Amino acid sequence: MSNSPESSSRKLTNKYNLPLPLVEALAADPYDSGGADLSVTSIWKPTQLVDLVRRHRSEIEVDASDLIPSALGSAFHTLMERADRHAIKEKRLFAHLEGKLISGQFDRLLLENESATLQDYKVTTVARFSRHSAGTDDEWAQQLNTYALLLRLNGIQVSALQVIVLLRDWSRNMLMRFLDYPSLMVQVVNLPLWDPAEAEERVRARIKAHETISPCTPEEMWHKPARYAVMREGRKSALRLFDNEQAAQYFMSTQKGPSLYIERRPAIYTRCEEYCEAAPFCPQWKSLKKETPDE
């Protein structure tokens, strides 16, 4: 196992008393960055998050239940890799950029005639897939274009990018109810391939960004600002949502009927609250919680 900070062990808990074989399987993390300074995925993560994980990796506690989604992804990768006899699979690449050793292991490279299609496997939710389809989530494009850059630096030109997506919460019943619901549990997504010069410029800029540890931006914290909901007694959903209380008050004054009231829905920092393993060690997150104790 590498001595890279990204491959150091974490403390695994079992708060929900999951069966021991499952916990042991979840604990067996085979990831090894090969001694790289930065991986393809960490390049695009917030600099503060990467630094905190690097410094506190051995102190971070992760519950076994939180590792189940990533385990499902690993199982899907293994299933696809075992059956695939037509492509280059799970190959780790290295390159030196901006004085750093960069590493990434792509899922699948299909070589046909003069073209090379780089493919990645994802297991995710319908909601996440919908955000990507709506153009509000470019993490997949960043990741695959960085792999494509590594391949070019290793002598292979990529001509197309695809993500093969398994929707773990897909439901046939939901398909019958919503016109824009994904038609199948498996979806193939074509991603934009960045111009080679642009890709290298963007990746180099992200590597340089990690030289200075910066506080996370609202976008990096997946921040949703506080909203003001005009509610009616006996109704669960809001009549309208507003960004400020004054607008909510005005709307309420235009409505007929009694029993209207305003419900403040606090700001949410989704990544910090639910997904950031470095949150317990983050001074920015501690400060935010002190400033808005009700949020």
The end-to-end CA distance of the chain, in Å, is: 41
Between 98 and 292, residue with greater pLDDT: 98
How deeply is 6 buried, as exposed, middle or buried, from its count of CB atoms within 10 A (0-12, 13-18, 19+)? buried
Phi, psi angles (nearest 5°) of residue 47:
-60, -40
Summarised one tens digit per residue, pLDDT across range 230-246 is: 999 988 899 999 999 99
List the CATH code of the domain at 5-209.
Answer: 3.90.320
pLDDT at residue 257 in the model: 74
Q: Per-domain residue ranges for the chain?
A: 5-209, 223-291
Summarised one tens digit per residue, pLDDT across range 42-88 is: 999 999 999 999 999 999 999 999 999 999 999 999 999 999 999 99
Spell out a b/e string for 51-64, using b for 16 or more CB atoms within 10 Å of the CB, else e.
Answer: bbbeebbeebeebb
**Angle in degrees, CA 59, 60, 65, rounded to 5:** 140
pLDDT at residue 174 in the model: 94
